[in-house]
Amino acid sequence: MRLSWRDAMACDPRSLALLRIGMGLALVLDAVLRAGDLGDFYTDAGVFPRQAYGEVFSSWRVNLHALTAGPWLQGGLLALAALLGGAVALGYRTRWAAAASFALLVSVQMRMPIVQTAADDLLRVLLFWGLFLPWERHFSLDARRSGHARDTAPVLDGSVIGYVVQVFCMYLFAGLTKSAPEWRSEGTAIYYALHLDTMARPLGLWLRGYPGPMSALTHATLWLELIGPFALVLPVATAWARAGAIAAFTLLQIGLASTLDLGLFQLVSVVALLGLLPAALWDRWLPRLRRGGGAPADAGAGHAPLSRRVRGGRAGLVLGSLLALYIVVWNASALDGVPALPERALLPGKVLRIHQNWNLFAPRPLVREGWVVIRGRLADRTSIDPLTGAPVTFEHPGRLAGLHPSHRWRKYIHNVFLNPTAAAHRPFYADWVCRSWNRAHPRQPLSRLEIWFVVERTLPDYAPSTPEPTHALDHVCAAR
């Protein structure tokens, strides 16, 4: 059986084109979902006005979205991001569209880093490699003009190596960082994950009543993340190994999406795999479909030569390989027992915006969540909860999944009230509550707030827990 590291790292240009289409559509969807939180997160009328930068961050973070404040301008930037994502998907002026999309994506993520998710990191680093991938050669308007659509030679250059290593690292280090007993020995990680009511979907609520299947799924998830990435780069039987790994990872993401609301993460994770689809998929099955089920063409036979463009790019091959190695070292430094990289070594990753962290539900799933309770004092000294307009109560609100208008709001609330390093955001949240209420009720303005976060813990073996109100902040509303 022949070993071929070339096959293990090369990508079919048609698969890369499919990756481009998926990435473009993901960029459009990302912009559309952000538009739903436009006023709350991206304008000075929201929870993090631009003047808050100096109080929260040690240095000003220059980005295009922080140079404008009005909702119309912010909405225009998101609309432009959606249009550029569409251009990437269609393969129209692909290089320019991808570069502009990357600039806008970096900017909007820097504008509100506290709502950053793993999906945002994955979308950004994949788009970085997309700036250099030859993914416009098929299924694109650019290909129709250039004639590249007839070239199906496998592609192996620095950008392809970087992309393959990036996907490899995302899945592998997601497994390696799962070091707690809940994953490695107890098999209870899925139990704890599905008990996060703010994320659990109806199927997840049902599944968490069955400890046996949850334990099996815990171990299966861990082993898939530890072994599956190597199947993506196996130098023997590469096509079959890749196809099997892609199918397994896709099923994993479908399972996650059906049980937990993780925003765009599952979608982007599946899109990330599209560029790795083996050539056999195109050479054997597409011709058969075109023939109405006849015998497959022999297009996949033999060993296709590498693209001439790729063979000549030795400098790019070396540079891409070095950057891929840097990504491996970056991720390895996050593991327990591995020395952390010095700040100067982190600088290139931060400048290039390829910084990343794949500690998903790691080292163990969260066991705390909760909800906000606010006692607002009106000018006439009566008290209400300005979030609901109802009397103040610490009673459980029922299903926590419906408390937040979006997954980014859920991320924001949990970071602000459960992450001590984000406590500096609390006064700005309180000020936003005051302004929102007073704008809607000018005759009954708020004068001050007491904010509490009620913490609910998940205990082992379905043991009941008592919610714990935790005082977060007293705030005096600014005079109108």
Residues 354-371 have pLDDT tens digits of 999 999 999 999 999 999
pLDDT given at position 309: 46
Say if residue 303's pLDDT is above 90: no
**Average pLDDT for the chain:** 92
Residue 1 CB-density burial (10 A; 0-12 exposed, 13-18 middle, 19+ buried): exposed
Q: What is the pTM of this model?
A: 0.94
Distance CA 463, CA 410 (A): 25
Q: Is the pLDDT of residue 476 over 90?
A: yes
Query: Could you read off the pLDDT of 415-437 as tens digits, one per residue?
Result: 999 999 999 999 999 999 999 99
pLDDT band at 311 (very low <50, low <70, confident <90, very high): very low
